[in-house]
Amino acid sequence: MRITTWNANSVRLREAALRRIVAEIDPDVLCLQETKVEDGKFPLDLVHDLGFPHCHIHGQKGYHGVAVLAKLPLDACHSHKWCGIDDSRHAVCTLAGGIELHNLYIPAGGDIPDPELNPKFRHKLAMLDELSDWFATNHYESRRAILLGDLNIAPLETDVWSHKQLLSVVSHTPVEVEKLGRLQASAGWVDAVRAVIPPEEKLFSWWSYRNRDWNASDRGRRLDHIWLTPALAPKLRHADVRREARGWEMPSDHVPVTVELAV
């Protein structure tokens, strides 16, 4: 089973990129974040044409939004609301073999890394805390489950272009890294990509639109993740970050991240 996560940054603007992802990566399950469209206007005809007859869509107008597109049936599809806010950030469904999949879009957090001064950053930290408590309480360490999506945090020094320069920049601050670590510990989640690509290797999945030449400056961050519970991690066979997708026509600022599981 090949599973891809991708922050599309508006699914209706990325038809060409979606078609390339399907043609070149050929995922069995494609998880999207920042779809930025309410459910009634989601481009279902397009995704059905691309070979995904099964969809779980959880969107809203203009902001956020997550979706799971699958070639195989999806069961028990539902969503979660966190921090008492009706943002569309968490879609859940069960894949073949009883694998529970959680597609997440963690808040970006704004520009000021201070929860007292910045409500967006406070929301980000609060959602991470609530997720950590929920996964721990529900004993996910013994389940076959996947957590993936745009987590908007680059935890390792090699997940950012400059560890020292980004320590005070939202997405790589110590408090965010600590809370992401707590979320990972909540079920013993295994970072599938770093289980394949050594942590010592620089690895990014996002490059800002502000960079005049993203490839030459290479000021990236690894914000997109795929985690597996310990019960599922032994099935991991391959992982890939499709860097060249950042240079496609009308690209998202994120690139697809994929794992293959022998299930």
Report the pLDDT value the prediction gives residue 236, as an integer from 0 to 100.
98
- Mean pLDDT, residues 232-238: 98
Q: How confident is the model at residue 6 (pLDDT cuts 50, 70, 90)?
A: very high
pTM: 0.98
Mean pLDDT score across all residues of the chain: 98
Give percent of the chain above pLDDT 70.
100
Give percent of the chain above pLDDT 90.
99
Kindly report, residue by residue over 131-144, the tens digit of the pLDDT. 999 999 999 999 99
Q: How confident is the model at residue 13 (pLDDT cuts 50, 70, 90)?
A: very high
Q: How confident is the model at residue 44 (pLDDT cuts 50, 70, 90)?
A: very high
Report the pLDDT value the prediction gives residue 153, as an integer from 0 to 100.
99
Q: How confident is the model at residue 117 (pLDDT cuts 50, 70, 90)?
A: very high
CA distance 188 to 183: 9
Report the pLDDT value the prediction gives residue 106, as an integer from 0 to 100.
98
Kindly report, residue by residue over 179-198, the tens digit of the pLDDT. 999 999 999 999 999 999 99
Report the pLDDT value the prediction gives residue 82, as an integer from 0 to 100.
98
Report the pLDDT value the prediction gives residue 132, as an integer from 0 to 100.
98
**Structural domain boundaries enclosing 125:** 2-261
Kindly report, residue by residue over 99-111, the tens digit of the pLDDT. 999 999 999 999 9
Report the pLDDT value the prediction gives residue 108, as an integer from 0 to 100.
98
- Mean pLDDT, residues 173-181: 98
Q: How confident is the model at residue 146 (pLDDT cuts 50, 70, 90)?
A: very high
Q: The CATH number of the domain where 171 resides is what?
A: 3.60.10.10
- Mean pLDDT, residues 208-232: 97
Report the pLDDT value the prediction gives residue 80, as an integer from 0 to 100.
97
What total of structural domains would you count in the chain? 1
Confirm if 99 and 107 have CB atoms less than 8 A apart: no
Report the pLDDT value the prediction gives residue 17, as an integer from 0 to 100.
98
